């Protein structure tokens, strides 16, 4: 890879700016000041530094965000803070949220520039598990649980006009209540329909009071990660997600 392309992809500057940086001796390759901005480097083995700071190159970037309520799962929004605003300090181009969480929903959100992985995780054919912690207004009956696990009518239609039931889900009753006395369940679904969890609970005569996603596929929400904070995925987490 050319040095100027490498530095440009890390948002060090424009090609024109980088040429000036090299001329002023601000860039080094393996400890030696770079001779030309268009010199070729091995981004995987050479040590590239800018102003004495060693830079690491990664083709893709992966961040686990503990999304807070009040923030929209979008790349841009004219009125509300977006999830990309929360990771703006990374200065990485092309990041997108993998799927969406409602503005009032908290929890796990993968943010990455790996479009192929996003496509795989969101593909309906893959049936990737998504687990939610759901605080509900009233306890579920056995009949309600059976309906949710078999698939419910949330008002969606197929192309032929017939009812499009949700895919079978899994309900785990935690046996505990939150501080306001609302029962807590864990709901596993495999789709990402609009307001799906809320609509599923409404379909059995209930109401969602609080909603948090705690896992997506092999990726789990880090209990030590405060709401509104994020961290990079480990190499192992990325490897597991790509399986």
Domain boundaries for CATH 3.10.290.10 within the chain:
3-55
Q: Rounded to an integer, what distance in angstroms lies between the CA atom of residue 100 and that of residue 193?
A: 10
Q: SS3 for 194?
A: coil
Is it the case that residue 91 has pLDDT exceeding 80? Answer: no
Six token digits for residue 126: 């893959």
Contacts of 169 (CB under 8 A, 6+ apart): 148, 149, 151, 187, 188, 189, 190, 200
Q: Contact 241/121 with Cβ under 8 angstroms?
A: yes
Domain boundaries for CATH 3.30.70.580 within the chain:
58-126+222-243
Residues with a known catalytic role: 102
CATH number of 3-55: 3.10.290.10
Question: Which tens digits make up the pLDDT trace of 108-167?
Answer: 999 999 999 999 999 988 889 999 999 999 999 999 999 999 999 999 999 999 999 999
Alpha carbons within 13 angstroms on the beta-carbon side of residue 85 total 15
Query: For helices 235-242 and 115-122, what crossing angle results, to 10°?
Result: 50
Q: Specify the pLDDT at position 124.
A: 83
What topology does CATH give the domain 58-126+222-243? Alpha-Beta Plaits (3.30.70)
Question: Which tens digits make up the pLDDT trace of 151-202?
Answer: 999 999 999 999 999 999 999 999 999 999 999 999 999 999 999 999 999 9
Q: SS3 for 184?
A: strand
Domain boundaries for CATH 3.30.70.1560 within the chain:
129-216
Architecture of the structural domain at 129-216 = 2-Layer Sandwich (3.30)
Contacts of 68 (CB under 8 A, 6+ apart): 106, 227, 228
Q: Mean pLDDT of all residues in the chain?
A: 94
pTM of the predicted structure, to 2 decimals: 0.81
């Amino acid at each position: 890879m050319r040095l100027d392309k490498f530095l440009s992809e890390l948002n060090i500057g424009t090609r024109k700016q980088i040429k000036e940086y090299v001329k002023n001796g601000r860039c080094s390759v393996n400890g030696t000041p770079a001779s030309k901005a268009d010199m070729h480097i091995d981004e995987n083995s050479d040590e590239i530094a800018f102003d004495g700071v060693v830079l690491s190159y990664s083709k893709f970037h992966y961040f686990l965000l503990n999304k807070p309520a009040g923030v929209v799962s979008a790349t841009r929004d004219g009125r509300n803070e977006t999830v990309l605003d929360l990771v703006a300090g990374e200065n990485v181009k092309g990041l997108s949220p993998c799927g969406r969480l409602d503005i009032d929903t908290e929890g796990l959100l993968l943010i990455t520039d790996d479009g192929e992985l996003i496509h795989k995780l969101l593909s309906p054919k893959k049936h990737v598990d998504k687990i939610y912690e759901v605080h509900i207004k009233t306890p579920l009956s056995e009949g309600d649980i059976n309906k949710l696990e078999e698939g419910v009518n949330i008002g969606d239609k197929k192309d032929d006009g017939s009812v499009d039931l949700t895919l079978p889900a899994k309900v785990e009753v935690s046996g505990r209540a939150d501080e306001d006395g609302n029962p807590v369940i864990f709901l596993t679904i495999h789709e990402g329909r609009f307001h799906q969890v809320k609509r599923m609970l409404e379909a059995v005569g209930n109401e969602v009071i609080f909603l948090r996603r705690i896992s997506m596929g092999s990726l789990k929400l880090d209990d030590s990660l405060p709401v509104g904070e994020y961290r990079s995925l480990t190499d192992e987490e990325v490897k597991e997600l790509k399986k």
